Amino acid sequence: WNDLLAPSEALKGKTTMLATDRWLLAAGQLAKGDSVNETDPAKLAEVKDLLISAKKTLLAYDDTTFYSKLVSGEALMVQAWDGWCNYGIAENPQIKYTIPKEGSDLWVDTMVVMKASTNKDAAFQFINFMLDAKNHAWAAQNIDYKVPNKPAMESLPADFLAKFPNMNMPVAELVKFEQLRDVGDAQRDYSKIVSEIKAAQ
């Protein structure tokens, strides 16, 4: 993480970080060896200071166009959603995906049926349709995101997996990462700290 947070001269002004509270803080937390769910005010203050210092070296905070900045060469290193990194790789195979040695968060996209839904049967049918291995494999190939469906992932073509190495991460690697948890009232602290980081000069 420190390659991004304290970049070399060649990278200064050529890096972006995610602006969303939990992921921006996670970069600093992991760089300091903390949990991505840390709530201790003293540790959060240290993370804030680190990220304020890092801000001075950034091109931008960017949650949506970082991959196009990589493709164009405007950015040379970015903190990225892994699937969106694949969008960049699809346009420029020179882009490489890596996970910092300190690790990352572990996430999963989900589908839910709302309690107030007026068409629960259709919603469940759609979810079951998408969970079918053939359909889930289609989704993986069309959105460039891995899916939590072993038969679907095992059916993906070898050239597709070679093009996007993060699609083929072993479970043993994935489980080393930490899930973002509900931090309760500390979420207010997280939001306040991120606002202060963004406002810092």
CATH code for the domain of 192:
3.40.190.10
Write down the pLDDT at residue 107. Answer: 87
155 and 190 in a single domain? The answer is no
Q: If 0-12 CB within 10 Å is exposed, 13-18 middle and 19+ buried, where does residue 139 land?
A: middle
Confidence of residue 74 (pLDDT cuts 50, 70, 90): very high
pLDDT at 35 over 90: yes
- What is the number of domains present in the chain? 2
What are the strands, taking DSSP E only, across the chain? 15-17, 60-61, 77-78, 105-106, 178-179
If one counts every other C-beta atom within 10 angstroms of the C-beta of residue 51, the result is 24
Helix axis angle for 41-55 and 186-199, nearest 10°, is: 20
61 and 149 in a single domain? The answer is no
142 and 169 in a single domain? The answer is yes
111 and 167 in a single domain? The answer is yes
92 and 49 in a single domain? The answer is yes
Q: Mind listing the pLDDT tens digit for each residue in 166-180?
A: 898 888 888 889 999
63 and 138 in a single domain? The answer is no
Distances (CA, A) of 38 to 5, 44, 152, 191, 196: 19, 7, 35, 14, 18
8 and 82 in a single domain? The answer is yes
Using alpha carbons only, how large is the chain's radius of gyration in Å? Answer: 19
Q: Mind listing the pLDDT tens digit for each residue in 99-109?
A: 999 999 998 88
60 and 30 in a single domain? The answer is yes
Q: Are 50 and 5 in contact (CB under 8 A)?
A: yes
87 and 112 in a single domain? The answer is no
Per DSSP, 144 falls in state: T
What percent of the chain has a predicted confidence (pLDDT) above 90?
A: 89
90 and 187 in a single domain? The answer is yes
91 and 109 in a single domain? The answer is no
The pTM is what?
Answer: 0.89
Range of the domain at 69: 2-104+179-199
Confidence of residue 82 (pLDDT cuts 50, 70, 90): confident
How many angstroms separate the CA atoms of 201 and 199, rounded? Answer: 6
